[in-house]
Structure 1
């Protein structure tokens, strides 16, 4: 197959501003097309979406309103950003959390097509609490950690059933903005309904871990082992069980959790089969491995030949391009991109319908080699 590639950006912006606006301008045309095609315009009204957010996650309302303003204020943008009763979506992923007397880890593989991930690691303080995580749907999170050391990650629950609720990525954002411990987070997950089945694994700085199955329309089931793949334990059958090898991956994770005494080095297991997926052409490949350390409030993003180390106390803006296909490889770009990349100019170019060569906006002399970047990179 032809190689696919994905550019990963690490961006710091305490409050939503020009950097977030640039990402919106870049990504909204594709998201808007998806939203329309999947029936989003037939969903709840803007007023209903805002009322639901105010009822279930009131602390996020000021941030939400700021984002809607930055996005231009349209009804469609407001409904999309609320993620209240959104169109269906799915994914893969494997998760595990482990702790001993002096080490805590939450590790996840993110499995999907390279064309369907935003590739954005964002450090923010939108409600006053430091949060760092991988962005989904432009402000939600697929995984992340906050300044209290609480970490969280999601995996698709395996079935295309829906209920009245929020997109799971907004719920994860809410957890990290408002909670300090796993116990706090479980109270939120019990209270805030998810629109589809999802599995969530958590760990905090005390070493407490948990695995939770979110039910469509509200309600949770706490699972004994802090592992999760793409099925749930309610007797239902996942839609794509054989394709995702969900039971095989879950059994492998449980063996690791039962046999390993030290969580250090756990991430290395995720870079090997059966956890690492390579079927990118079929939309099911591992895009990154995220390793969270609640004690240091840190994150390491792993790929086959490189890694990023970041923390809430020591965060560096940077970029890298990862290619997937016959062989996964990275192209390291420059560090400290806050000064070198004009994100607003890039966003304006995307908004005009012309995908830019983003290297045009870099200060000369930072080692950008045009022939290194594959043509499909986004």
Structure 2
């Protein structure tokens, strides 16, 4: 199984992002329609204006650029998207140089495969893209670094897709405490864990949910549950408990730097069962004090930074193992 991973450098939304939209929108529209999505542009606009007002101008530029219809307008706002879930593991090591390492585990057929460097609102951001606007993991020029994992809960409620909220965080926040404030006031429609760090090495893992207050912890890692495992089937399928215990042990032993990165490239953190829809699609390493990051695969790598960012297309072959539980 092969996919092409693309890196794009475009400070303002222009032809490159428009081309990306034109390529991916048909699949996203089909996803919306398969979930019987209801489009309400007025509600989407009002929610964006109420919770993330600084994003309104950006949203308008995006919609104008692609001549968005009602469906695209709502989709690009991030408001009330369909339900979706991933697996993923992430950890921050502050021993030596600060770094955030994460594995993104998701369905290969729904993988956007784009790393975008932008300055849509004046602040440079490098981030793995999701839903054309959202962020799976990323870093801004001031060193604020973040990543998400699914929170392992069934509950769906009022709010935005978390990747859209994380875009807002990177566009307008500079430090961890500012990001925590945003996550506490902008509603997420599903449960997620967000691990944050910055150049000071402070670490917070935030548990967001649509039905209960924000939980702020100083845990340096997360997998796919919030406290006790609530969704048993997903917990077993994703091995969230095993991966969390493994990360806890690695960090307790002081693993950092390249040693921690290598651990993410092997089971139980690395998953190769792509046919079940939760294989590891990439490993990301962010170094906020250096303004640099890496994307890693078993047989390929990509080094990027704010000072030196290359536009490339990398074909990635994903190996499948029927017996993999990791």
For normalisation by structure 1, the TM-score amounts to 0.82
1:52 to 2:47 alignment: yes
CA contact (8 A) 2:152 2:229 kept: no
Distance 2:189 2:213 in 1: 11
Secondary structure, aligned partner of 1:278: coil
1:97 to 2:96 alignment: no
Distance 1:139 1:99 in 2: 29
The corresponding residue for 2:125 is 131
Q: CA offsets, 1:50-84, max 9 Å, x none? A: 11101111111111111111222211110111121
Distance 1:322 1:224 in 2: 35
CA contact (8 A) 1:160 1:239 kept: no
**Which aligned pairs between 1:110-189 and structure 2 lie closer than 5 A?**
110-189=104-183
The corresponding residue for 1:265 is 259
Q: Report deviation, 1:116.
A: 1.1
Q: Report deviation, 1:256.
A: 0.9
Which of 53, 73, 76 pairs up with 1:81?
76
Q: CA offsets, 1:145-189, max 9 Å, x none? A: 000011100011112321111000001101100111111111111
Distance 1:129 1:173 in 2: 11
Equivalenced residue count is: 321
Distance 1:184 1:74 in 2: 34
Q: Report deviation, 1:223.
A: 2.7
Structure 1 regions of 5+ residues with no counterpart? 328-378
Q: Report deviation, 1:239.
A: 4.2
CA contact (8 A) 2:154 2:231 kept: no
Q: CA offsets, 1:76-112, max 9 Å, x none? A: 1101111211110111100111203x41010100011
CA contact (8 A) 1:191 1:218 kept: no
Which of 12, 16, 26 pairs up with 2:9?
12
For normalisation by structure 2, the TM-score amounts to 0.95
Q: Which structure 1 residue ranges, 4+ long, deviate > 2 Å from structure 2?
A: 234-239, 261-265
Q: CA offsets, 1:321-345, max 9 Å, x none? A: 1011248xxxxxxxxxxxxxxxxxx
1:28 to 2:25 alignment: yes
The corresponding residue for 2:227 is 233
Structure 2 regions of 5+ residues with no counterpart? 322-326
The corresponding residue for 2:279 is 285
Distance 1:173 1:50 in 2: 17
1:62 to 2:61 alignment: no
Secondary structure, aligned partner of 1:265: helix
Distance 1:146 1:262 in 2: 22
Instruction: State which structure, 1 or 2, has the greater radius of gyration over its C-alpha atoms.
Output: 1
Distance 2:229 2:237 in 1: 19
Q: Report deviation, 1:196.
A: 0.1
The alpha-carbon distance between structure 1 residues 33 and 262, as it changes in their structure 2 partners (threshold 3 A), is closer
The corresponding residue for 1:297 is 291
Q: CA offsets, 1:287-335, max 9 Å, x none? A: 10000001011111011122111011111111101011248xxxxxxxx
